[in-house]
Structure 1
Amino acid sequence: MTFSVVARCAETGMFGLAISSSSPAVAARCSYARAGVGAVATQNVTDPSLGPLGLDLLEQGLSAVDAVAKLRQMGKFIEYRQVLAVDRNGLTAIHSGPNSLGIWTQAQAEDVASGGNMLANEGVPQAIINGFLSADGHIGDRLIAAMRAGIAQGGEAGPVHSAGLKIVDKVSWPVADLRCDWTEDCPIEAVASLWDLYRPQLDAYVQRALDPREAPSYGVPGDE
């Protein structure tokens, strides 16, 4: 019921994740990233505990391959789970349990991995990888391009209703955490519109947290 992409920007060290599903609020359960550590998506019959656990393993120094292998040992009902990970060196790993739903498949390259279940066809994850690798610019732009490529390839077998985009950088919180929890229209385009609005303000929000004395004005009525 989900397709996703986890990625690292080799130039900036940022990590990001984008995800979409026919289920509501998919990003609330399935997307995890930690600055300087990596990104993990946990999906299919979702066990949200695998996301933080995967990040903890990456932070301890395990590679994405070793962390996902450890999750296979530690996770409950792992045969029902899909887990994707990218680490600080750009290594990627994917676990897709044999009880993943419908058409399920995966694809990966340096710095980026994609997987999905209940897909329209087996080509969706590779289309997502190609979309990410062929795009330029900010990791957020590249993740949006990747998800658009996935939906253009067919996406899920049925309509998707929720989506999310998460990006981490040098601080302990996500510098972008954008979600569309339910829509009858395309949630990927809804998140893309949010990203277009948020991206020019991203650095200002970080600066306000670090030192509001040096931050730009808020740009709202009453701000002087």
Structure 2
Amino acid sequence: MTHRSPIIATFSIVGSDPATGELGVAVQSKFLGVGSVVPWAKAGVGAIATQAFANPAYGPDGLKMLEEGLTVEEVFHELTTKDPQSQDRQLGIVDTNGNAESFTGNDCYEWAGGVTGKGYAAQGNILVNKETVTEMGKAFEEATGSLADRLLAGLQKAQQAGGDSRGKQSAALYVVKEKGGYGGLSDTLVDLRVDDHPDPIVELERIYQLHQLYFGETNEEDILKVEAEVMQDVTLHLYRLGYISSRNVEENELYRGLTTYLHTENFEGREQHEGWIDKKVYEYLLEHNS
């Protein structure tokens, strides 16, 4: 009797943005911790999703082949023809130029299939319908914003169109870019997982927005001067939270309290010169005042 690994019934989209150099994968599944198996990506190289009766070796092996100069078509061919169980697998590949391939083995459980377009490959198995995949690709094509924004848009639309016929459990978003990570010291731009949740895509969107708040850059138009109403609000809420001793403190104590608040809440990346505050930090302070 042939042993088969647990099936990863899922839908995923791999994407590339040649203009920014971003590469990534978004995925949802009725499977615990899907982010630990399906998404693979390497900055300056490509992104890969391996699912169904997933072969995790497709990730590192495929990326190595891309890095060595093979095309996505050649990588797809090498991985599947040398794997005796390839007809049980699904695979999505994209390179830095946006070339993409999607593979669905003949023995994958229905509905199973994939589509490709400019800069993406979308695929899924044990789905409610074909539209889960086609709408995922269409949403990616029509969405604006960063690659992560577009991948999430595809995931959300896929769920709305039908999704995994077995239900929902986990989701993940993984995006890389050369020196795009924390402090420019790594290539991991976004690496978020929801391992077990009744509505994993909604939860993934929530923590992605938190990620953007903590690690996103301050736009010039979002820098506010701490004066008038802004000054009153900042003073009130820093006092309520215990960062300043009263609502009538001198400005130097106010700004010391604000600095302590920023560092306590991990907002160092949005810290401004004294007398100014990031609008998103200001809004967060108003909304989370207890």
TM-score of the pair, normalised by structure 2: 0.69
Name the CA distance, whole Å, in 2 between partners of 1:126 and 1:33.
23
Structure 2 residue aligned with 1:178, among 187, 192, 197? Answer: 192
Cα 1:52–1:76 shift into 2, 3 Å: farther
1:50·1:75 contact (CA, 8 Å) conserved in 2? Answer: no
1:47 aligns with 55
Structure 1 residue aligned with 2:124, among 103, 106, 116? Answer: 116
SS in 2 for 1:219: helix
Q: Does 1:138 align with 2:182?
A: no
Cα 1:79–1:134 shift into 2, 3 Å: same
Cα 1:219–1:40 shift into 2, 3 Å: same
Name the CA distance, whole Å, in 1 between partners of 2:16 and 2:210.
22
SS in 1 for 2:87: helix
Name the CA distance, whole Å, in 2 between partners of 1:76 and 1:65.
19
Name the CA distance, whole Å, in 2 between partners of 1:86 and 1:54.
10
Aligned length: 212
Bigger Rg over Cα: 2
Structure 2 residue aligned with 1:155, among 114, 138, 163? Answer: 163
Structure 1 residue aligned with 2:89, among 71, 81, 91? Answer: 81
Cα 1:201–1:118 shift into 2, 3 Å: same
Name the CA distance, whole Å, in 2 between partners of 1:6 and 1:121.
20
1:66 CA drift (Å): 1.2
1:220 aligns with 264
Name the CA distance, whole Å, in 1 between partners of 2:191 and 2:95.
19
Structure 1 residue aligned with 2:215, among 202, 209, 216? Answer: 202
1:207 aligns with none
1:213 aligns with none
1:92 aligns with 100
Name the CA distance, whole Å, in 2 between partners of 1:223 and 1:37.
31
Q: Does 1:190 align with 2:203?
A: yes
Structure 2 residue aligned with 1:19, among 16, 27, 36? Answer: 27
- After superposition, give the CA deviation of every residue in 1:172-217 in whole Å (9 maximum; x if it has no partner): 5422110000112x1011111111000233357xxxxxxxxxxx99
Bigger drift between 69-78 and 112-121 goes to: 69-78
2:31·2:170 contact (CA, 8 Å) conserved in 1? Answer: yes
Cα 1:201–1:61 shift into 2, 3 Å: farther
Name the CA distance, whole Å, in 2 between partners of 1:221 and 1:180.
22
2:17·2:96 contact (CA, 8 Å) conserved in 1? Answer: no
1:175·1:202 contact (CA, 8 Å) conserved in 2? Answer: no
TM-score of the pair, normalised by structure 1: 0.89
User: % of aligned pairs identical?
Assistant: 30
Q: CA RMSD in A?
A: 2.0
Instruction: Structure 1: state its 5+ residue gaps.
Output: 205-215
SS in 1 for 2:27: strand
Name the CA distance, whole Å, in 1 between partners of 2:89 and 2:111.
14
Q: Which has the higher contact order (CA 8 A, sep 6+)?
A: 1
- After superposition, give the CA deviation of every residue in 1:136-159 in whole Å (9 maximum; x if it has no partner): 011111111111110010011121
2:18·2:96 contact (CA, 8 Å) conserved in 1? Answer: no
2:29·2:170 contact (CA, 8 Å) conserved in 1? Answer: yes
Name the CA distance, whole Å, in 1 between partners of 2:265 and 2:145.
32
1:222 CA drift (Å): 10
1:164 aligns with 172
